[in-house]
Amino acid sequence: MGRRLGSFIFFFLVFFINATCCRGKSQQQFPKKQVPFFIFGDSFLDAGNNNYINTSTLDQANFWPYGLTYFKFPTGRFSDGRLLSDFIAKRAKLPLIPPFLQPGFRQYYHGVNFASSGAGALAETFRGFVIDLKTQLSNYYKVASWFRHTLGNDEGEATISRAVHLFSIGSNDYMSPFLTNPTILNNYNDSTYVGMVIGNLTTVIKEIYRGGGRKFAFINVPELGCVPGMRIIKSDNNGSCLEDATRLATLHNKALSKVLFELEKRLEGFKYSLFDFNSNLRQRMQHPSKYGFKEGETACCGSGQYRGVFSCGGKRRVKEFQLCKNPKEYVFWDSYHLTERTYRQFADQMWGGTSNPDDVGPYNMKNLFQIH
């Protein structure tokens, strides 16, 4: 009798301890030392957020032939296949990072993609059609609080401090005036305009840092005047690069290197990786065959000179378009965006490259994921 009661109590205790210990803390499901990957910015990184907002097809890529090479269906990525961030995730042994707005997506362990095609650091950039950087930041706050809630404050914060935050931002701030209303730029000189873009980006970086984020990665902006879609804007210049846009891009890239260098000095524990997207793209545009491409300047998909008319897929203003046979031979996929093959090469440099000759530093992405 006593023994049976004893074993009953013992059984009950074991049951009770099992049931109460560790409740709500998902140690079992959650790999220790997880390094989440948070992605911010524009169409170079958007994995499909714009599929779920009220926007126009100018900012969407959820129709054929987008996605044709790898996914075999349009995911919303502006490419024939995967993006830079998809390859980085793969190298970090993470699955594809889903878009924040994807219905039903609630398990943020591996990270979240907040990027939105057309977005800029300035709220004015394509306003009403995109999720601007500040709104991406408020979505990030929701996810950061999910981490603290799900893992407990300490482990949640430790996880955020291990997380890598990748940004691609600025291109749309500099291109949108030329594509919508160039007189916007009459109100500013180049350095004040670039100062606003960098200022707004810096605010977001500091906010993430204040919330415990420590690891950041950036790509700079390409020579914007020379992308196919920008070359054809001025009908009288016969396809040469649009110098006004390139000048802004050059200033931006200088200012970005400088501000990151300063932030690293001022913010304890702030670590970053900056990839020279600009010079890597220019190399491939000028010497495509050196990198295994056949065509460096004309896009695979689009119409007109350089296929600079943004008509890939035929769902925008211009309905007819040409599609190349083999996207692997092209650096540019459409009038503004790159092929999966180009992104893969860039991701390889960002992941394992060194400051010379691959132009990534002070950390590469591999270091950034691995340091704690």
* Minimum distance from residue 361 beta carbon to ligand NAG (Å): 26
Dist CA 139 CA 135 (whole Å): 6
337 in active site: yes
Kindly identify the residues of this chain, within the stretch 218-247, that bind ligand NAG according to CB under 6 A.
238-239
Active-site position among 59, 86, 334, 359: 334
Q: Which of 196, 259, 263, 318 touches ligand NAG (CB under 6 A)?
A: 196
Residue window 305-344: x/- pattern of binding to ligand NAG, with contact defined by CB under 6 A: ----------------------------------------
Q: 3-state class of 52 per DSSP?
A: helix
CA distances from 214 to 208, 211, 268, 369 (A): 8, 9, 9, 11
Q: 3-state class of 323 per DSSP?
A: strand
Dist CA 135 CA 100 (whole Å): 12
Contact 363, 271 (CB under 8 A): yes
Nearest to ligand NAG of 54, 186 (CB atom): 54
Nearest to ligand NAG of 200, 246 (CB atom): 200
Q: 3-state class of 273 per DSSP?
A: strand
Query: Which region, judged by CB under 6 A, interacts with ligand NAG, from 5-13, 34-42, 117-125, 204-212?
Result: 117-125
Contact 61, 310 (CB under 8 A): no
- Closest Cα partner for 42 from 107, 110, 96, 115? 115
Looking up tokens 């296929």 gives 307
Q: Is 189 in the site for ligand NAG (CB under 6 A)?
A: yes
The token pair at 57 is 């097809």
Residue window 259-298: x/- pattern of binding to ligand NAG, with contact defined by CB under 6 A: ----------------------------------------
**Strands, E assignment, 279-364:** 301-302, 322-323, 360-362
* Minimum distance from residue 48 beta carbon to ligand NAG (Å): 18
Q: Which of 34, 139, 161, 203 touches ligand NAG (CB under 6 A)?
A: 203
Query: Which region, judged by CB under 6 A, interacts with ligand NAG, from 39-47, 188-196, 278-286, 332-340?
Result: 188-196
* Minimum distance from residue 149 beta carbon to ligand NAG (Å): 30
Q: Rounded to a whole number, what is the distance in angstroms from the first to the last CA of the chain?
A: 56
Dist CA 244 CA 158 (whole Å): 44
Dist CA 343 CA 293 (whole Å): 13
43 in active site: yes
Q: 3-state class of 114 per DSSP?
A: coil
Nearest to ligand NAG of 211, 239 (CB atom): 239
Nearest to ligand NAG of 160, 245 (CB atom): 245
CA distances from 59 to 46, 77, 83, 313 (A): 10, 10, 16, 13
Residue window 34-63: x/- pattern of binding to ligand NAG, with contact defined by CB under 6 A: --------------------x---------
Q: Is 211 in the site for ligand NAG (CB under 6 A)?
A: no
Contacts of 123 (CB under 8 A, 6+ apart): 132, 134
Nearest to ligand NAG of 76, 353 (CB atom): 76
Query: Which region, judged by CB under 6 A, interacts with ligand NAG, from 15-23, 24-32, 184-192, 295-303?
Result: 184-192
ω into 98 cis (within 30 of 0): no
* Minimum distance from residue 128 beta carbon to ligand NAG (Å): 6
Q: Which of 199, 211, 314, 352 touches ligand NAG (CB under 6 A)?
A: 199
CA distances from 178 to 51, 140, 229, 246, 253 (A): 25, 30, 11, 12, 19
Q: Which of 145, 192, 286, 326 touches ligand NAG (CB under 6 A)?
A: 192
Q: Which of 9, 14, 22, 123 touches ligand NAG (CB under 6 A)?
A: 123
> Strand 271-275 and strand 360-362: pairing?
antiparallel
Nearest to ligand NAG of 174, 346 (CB atom): 174
The catalytic residues are 43, 334, 337
Question: Which residues are near ligand NAG by CB under 6 A?
Answer: 54, 122-124, 189, 191-192, 196, 199-200, 203, 238-239
